[in-house]
């Protein structure tokens, strides 16, 4: 089977994690969630975590020197040999260029960039109501509530609100997205790699549309 190397692109709260969990649930593709890796480092108090924390709390991007090597290591890993799904990386053009260079060195190509289009007002509603479990499983108090209030359906752990999902930080993250990450839409569109999705649709509809596109990409890659 041909490898599938995918990027999930879109503003914070667009539904990348919700859909990434679904697309990779069968374990065939290595799922690399940059935000989760950084939050784990902060929690463990590693050198990376100590350096990254202030940027994350402020809603800024963590510097490229800390992030690029970390993610490219995962792309080069044995686990990503049959393909990967990158969530939260690249987040600026320099990161996109670093990924291109690493893939070229490996003799591999990007298969596609799945872009979730969601307007800012909707993002604010989504992030304000987002709750996450200890393992990073994603819920929404209104749009995707757990079966029992405040606890994860899967492991029963208490759900928490991320520190950076508070209103002031949400606005900052959106500004950072428009300024630094959005240029990647044109970057990939010019190369014919961009696939747009209406991220305002309910999760099941977005998932169905994504799966259709991913199946087509698999078929195209196989011929």
The DSSP result for 160-204, as a single string, is: B--GGGSHHHHHHHHHHIIIIITHHHHHHHTTT-EEEEETTS-HH
* 196 annotated active-site: no
| Residue 130 found at the interface with ligand ADP (CB under 6 A) | yes
- Residue 118: count of CB within 10 angstroms of its CB: 20
| Residue 210 found at the interface with ligand AMP (CB under 6 A) | no
- Widest distance between CA atoms in the chain: 49
Q: Say what angle helices 34-44 and 64-75 make with each other, to 10 degrees.
A: 110
117 vs 204: CA distance, rounded Å: 16
Q: At its nearest, how many Å lie between ligand AMP and the CB of residue 25?
A: 19
| Residue 35 found at the interface with ligand AMP (CB under 6 A) | yes
Q: At its nearest, how many Å lie between ligand AMP and the CB of residue 47?
A: 16
| Residue 144 found at the interface with ligand ADP (CB under 6 A) | yes
Task: Return the residue of 7, 16, 68, 111 that touches ligand ADP, per CB under 6 A.
Answer: 16
From 39, 53, 91, 131, active-site residue: 91
Nearer to ligand ADP, 82 or 200 (CB): 200
Active site residue ranges: 16, 91, 130, 162, 173
């Amino acid at each position: 089977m041909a490898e599938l190397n995918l990027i999930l692109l879109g503003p914070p709260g667009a539904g990348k994690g919700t859909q990434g969990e679904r697309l990779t649930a069968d374990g065939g593709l290595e799922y690399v969630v940059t935000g989760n890796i950084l939050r784990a480092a902060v929690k463990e108090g590693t050198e990376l975590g100590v350096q990254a924390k202030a940027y994350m709390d402020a809603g800024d991007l963590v510097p490229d020197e800390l992030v690029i090597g970390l993610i490219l290591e995962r792309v080069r890993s044995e686990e990503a040999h049959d393909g990967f799904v990158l969530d939260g990386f690249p987040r600026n053009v320099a990161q996109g260029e670093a990924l291109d260079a690493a893939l070229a060195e490996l003799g591999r190509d990007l298969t596609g960039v799945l872009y979730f289009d969601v307007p800012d007002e909707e993002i604010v509603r989504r992030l304000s109501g987002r709750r996450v479990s200890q393992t990073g499983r994603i819920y929404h108090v209104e749009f995707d509530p757990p079966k029992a209030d405040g606890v994860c359906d899967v492991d029963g752990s208490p759900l928490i609100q991320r520190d950076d999902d508070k209103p002031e930080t949400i606005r900052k993250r959106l500004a950072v997205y428009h300024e630094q990450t959005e240029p990647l839409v044109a970057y990939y569109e010019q190369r014919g790699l961009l696939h747009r999705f209406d991220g305002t649709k309910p999760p099941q509809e977005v998932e169905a549309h994504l799966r259709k596109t991913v199946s087509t990409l698999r078929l195209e890659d196989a011929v």
